[in-house]
Amino acid sequence: MLKEEDHNVFVWKSNVNKHPLMLWSPFGNENCQAVLNSPEELNKLHPDFSINTKYFENYESSIFVDAENNNFRLTKEFSEITKGAPIPEKIRKAMGLSENEYRFFGAFPVN
């Protein structure tokens, strides 16, 4: 069972055919799913989840340095408005990272 969900970033551009942000399951309805359109909706179901998650709706700026050329590093501008979670020591050591503070959103990067 999922015990923690936080420090994610969700970015929606405007003028797109919007789908739900998440389908949460199990849930006590006929479909066994809750349709969630924002991190706040998840937080209402599970108050400990998505506390530090960022949600940008109608975000038009680029978030990646050069996605067309597979450079998916975050732009400086986007990096400055988002702060990730510190990596737990056990995971940091398994990844071979130094003791300097590293912060990431969502899944941890693969070296």
On whether the CB atoms of residues 36 and 42 are closer than 8 A, the answer is yes
- pLDDT at position 107 over 70: no
Q: How confident is the model over 66-99, as pLDDT tens digits?
A: 989 988 888 888 876 766 677 778 888 888 877 7
Q: Record the pTM.
A: 0.68
Closest CA to 95 of 81, 107, 78, 82: 107
Q: How confident is the model over 1-24, as pLDDT tens digits?
A: 678 788 788 888 776 667 888 899
Q: How confident is the model over 50-74, as pLDDT tens digits?
A: 888 888 888 888 888 898 998 888 8
